[in-house]
Structures are given as C-alpha cells and as structure tokens.
Structure 1
Amino acid sequence: MPKKRGYHHGNLREALIDAALGLIEQKGPQGFSLSEAAKDAGVTPAAVYRHFQGREDLLTEIARQGFEIFADLMEYAFDKGQPSALASFEATGRAYLAFARKYPGHYQAMFEAGLSLQSDPQLAKAAERATGILEQAAERLMAQLPADRRPPPQMVSAHIWAMSHGVVELYARGAPGSRAPFPADDLLETGIGIYLRGLGLLPPDS
C-alpha cells in the first residue's frame, strides 16, 4: 500500500504533485486517477479542482517541472567547465540518463503520458529550453568540422536525444543490466563515440 502523503501549511498543490509522482512511479502516467492522488495527499477529490482542471492538467504541470529540472541538469553539465567541446557534449548526453534515474515520475510524465508539448505554453517553453541546451552543445562541437561537412546542430542533437532515450527505455528502466550485458552508461558512451567517429570528430580506433 502506498504511504499516505499529507500536506502542511496549506501547500495542497505541491502535495498533489508529490502524490501523483509516487503513483506514476508505481502505475505509470496513465495508471492512476485523480481520486487516488487526492487520497494519497490526504484530501477529498473535490479539493484537487482548486488547483488542477483535471488529470491531464496535473500531468502537464509535472511534465513542465520535469523539463525544467532536466534543462537545469543539462545546463550544469554543459557549463561546468568541461575541458573541451567534446567533453561538454558527452556530459549533456550522460545528464539524460542521470535525470531518468533520479526523477522517474517526471520522466514518465514528460515522455509517456501522451501530452502534446504545444498544448500548454509553459510546457512548450520548458521543453524548448531543454532541447536548446543540447543544440548549443552540438553547435559548439560541429564548429570543429569544415562547413561543407557540418550537419545541422538540430539534427545532431536530435540523434543524440533519440539514442539517449532509447538506452533509457531499453536498458536503464526497471532492472538495469537485465536485458543487456553492458551498463547503460557504457552503451550510451560508446554509441555517442561511434556516432561522432562517423562524423570525423574522433580518430578511428587503432
């Protein structure tokens, strides 16, 4: 049975978000009801509507918070004094795995709830900030290539995002290592290495 999460000092909104996050981790973003979130927060179902129009509105807020946290992690990885553009780019990729592990409820709301990012202006803005940081890292790295061999940074960042997402979904969720003989971090690092070597940004293996 989930632990009942009461709220204090009238902070009902955050208590409902906290309760919903716990339920998402247990049942997935489509597997819980507003009534369950209210029960875990220690309030009546009617109280939910003081802050959220419905379950999708609650999920949208959780996803927005998730993208903000995600962007903060990637920004830190990008700006924390990496020795090179390559190291900075690889660090933003690793931040994806770190986020998915530490914030599974937010991650699922962002990517598995079926939300349209354009349905809410604040959600769209937070998502654009996150993608923008990875694009900045890609642009800085692609600047090392001749102009005629330089793919668009948006394409490169999309490729790395897709690779990171795939590693998370296939190998970093549930019981890590149970479906692959290699740790998720190693899979992502070698995958990024192969990709960048194909672009000519890394020397070939000896």
Structure 2
Amino acid sequence: MAKRGYHHGNLKRALIEAALTLISDKGPSGFTLSEAAKQAGVTPAAVYRHFDGREELIAEAAREGYEIFADLMEYAFETGQPSALASFEATGRAYLAFARKYPGHYIAMFESGISVNRSPELAHAAGRASAVLERAAAELSEHIPPEKRPPAAMFSAHIWAMSHGVVELFARGAAGSRSPFPPEELLEAGIGIYLRGLGLVAPDS
C-alpha cells in the first residue's frame, strides 16, 4: 500500500500523500523526512529529488490545501447566489466542511507555522481563499450605509476568525464531543449575531 504512488511513477504525489497522513496523525512537527519516505515506500534520499527538507514538503501540502480550500469557497459562494447573505453563510459552512474532509491539509495550512509568504505559489493560493470571503463580505456590506460600513477586509477577517475558532474548539478531535451544539449551529448563530449588530439581519421577534 505504501508504495502505490511511487510505483505509478509519481514520487512527488506519493510523498505529499505520506506527509498528509503523518501530519494528520502526528502533527506537522511530529514526523521526519525519513518517516515520510518510508510511508511513500522510497529511500530517504529519494525525497530530495523534489523537496529540500521537511518544511518544504509541508509547505507544498499547505499550498495544495489552499488551492482546494479556495475552490470549495468559490463553489460555495457561487451556489449561494442570488442572495448575498446566502452566499456569505455558505462560505462559512464550506470552512467547516474543508476542515473535516481535509485534516492534513488544514493542519499544514493553519497549524504548521509555515508562512504563507514562504513562496509566491503558496501566497497566491492563500490569497485566492481569503479573496472569496472578502468578496462575499463586500457584496453583503453594500446594504450598510457607507458611514457605518466596516472595511470588507475587516468584515471577512472577523468571520474567518469565528469560523476558525469553531473548527479548533468544536469541529476537530475530542473537543467536539464537549460541545452541546453542532459546530454548524454554533457558527450560524455566531454569524447571525455579528450580522444583526451590523443591521444586516433583522432582530429576532
């Protein structure tokens, strides 16, 4: 099983898959390049055909994760139309879905300590993801009078932080079992309170 990617002639892909498994199981600092090589079914020396070190391998996993994440966010935004509010809420749900389905990528992106500015490719991928949420925030905030309208970047950063907090506390690992509410409900309620404060959602009757 471990040698499947290598035997298909795609060593780089096999190493990334091995790293994602190890990151998910042990954390981004809990494995060595030798372990990644063993998981991929190759010698440690073979890793250096594609990666200079463990951090570069993790950075590539993060870049790939941001590309997947951006695709999911863009899809969520487009399918939420024609309502700006529906699109905005859909992007929040996409954040939770991504964290659940791609734990290795998520950890590489947000918990590895790898800077998004490590490479132009990584920075571009990360920028794509944040741009979707900022676009959703900009379209939704058009309903706020200009003098009361927060910058779209701040608006989207607040929702990103809220989504990330729900994921970290309640949507991954054992901590999720301690929440009396599903993560989706927690995020929806939090976004609702935030949007009511901006006058974008009517108060509860």
Q: Report the TM range for the smaller structure's normalisation.
A: over 0.9
Cα pair 1:145 1:201 within 8 Å, conserved: yes
Using the alignment, how far apart are the partners of 2:13 and 2:104 within structure 1? 14
Using the alignment, how far apart are the partners of 2:91 and 2:80 within structure 1? 13
Cα pair 1:176 1:183 within 8 Å, conserved: no
Q: 1:34 Cα deviation (Å)?
A: 0.4
RMSD of aligned C-alpha atoms?
Answer: 1.1
Cα pair 1:117 1:127 within 8 Å, conserved: yes
Instruction: List alignment gaps of at least 5 residues for structure 1.
Output: none
Q: 1:176 Cα deviation (Å)?
A: 6.2
Q: 1:180 Cα deviation (Å)?
A: 1.1
Taking structure 2 as the reference length, the TM-score comes to 0.97
Identity value in percent: 72
> What residue is the counterpart of 2:104 in the other structure?
105
- Asked if 1:200 corresponds to 2:163, the answer is no
Using the alignment, how far apart are the partners of 1:107 and 1:167 within structure 2? 14
Using the alignment, how far apart are the partners of 2:8 and 2:179 within structure 1? 47
Q: 1:117 Cα deviation (Å)?
A: 1.1
Q: 1:118 Cα deviation (Å)?
A: 1.1
CA deviation digits over 1:13-40, x for unaligned, max 9? 0000011111111101111110000001
Using the alignment, how far apart are the partners of 1:29 and 1:141 within structure 2? 36
Worse overlay, 80-89 or 193-202? 80-89
> What residue is the counterpart of 1:187 in the other structure?
186
Cα pair 2:23 2:31 within 8 Å, conserved: yes
CA deviation digits over 1:47-103, x for unaligned, max 9? 000000000000110000000000000000011252310000000011100000000
> What residue is the counterpart of 1:125 in the other structure?
124
Cα pair 2:80 2:90 within 8 Å, conserved: no
Q: 1:9 Cα deviation (Å)?
A: 2.7
Using the alignment, how far apart are the partners of 2:3 and 2:201 within structure 1? 50
Using the alignment, how far apart are the partners of 2:120 and 2:34 within structure 1? 27
CA deviation digits over 1:174-198, x for unaligned, max 9? 1364121000000000000000000
Report the AA paired with residue 35 of structure 2: E
Q: 1:5 Cα deviation (Å)?
A: 4.4
- Asked if 1:70 corresponds to 2:69, the answer is yes
Superposition pairs for residues 1-206 of structure 1, below 5 Å?
A: 4-6=2-4, 7-175=6-174, 177-206=176-205
Using the alignment, how far apart are the partners of 1:48 and 1:70 within structure 2? 26
Instruction: List alignment gaps of at least 5 residues for structure 2.
Output: none
Using the alignment, how far apart are the partners of 1:195 and 1:81 within structure 2? 19
Using the alignment, how far apart are the partners of 1:187 and 1:175 within structure 2? 17
Taking structure 1 as the reference length, the TM-score comes to 0.96
Cα pair 1:176 1:184 within 8 Å, conserved: no
Q: How many residues align?
A: 204
Structure 1 stretches of at least 4 aligned residues deviating more than 4 Å after TM superposition? none
1:117 partner SS:
coil
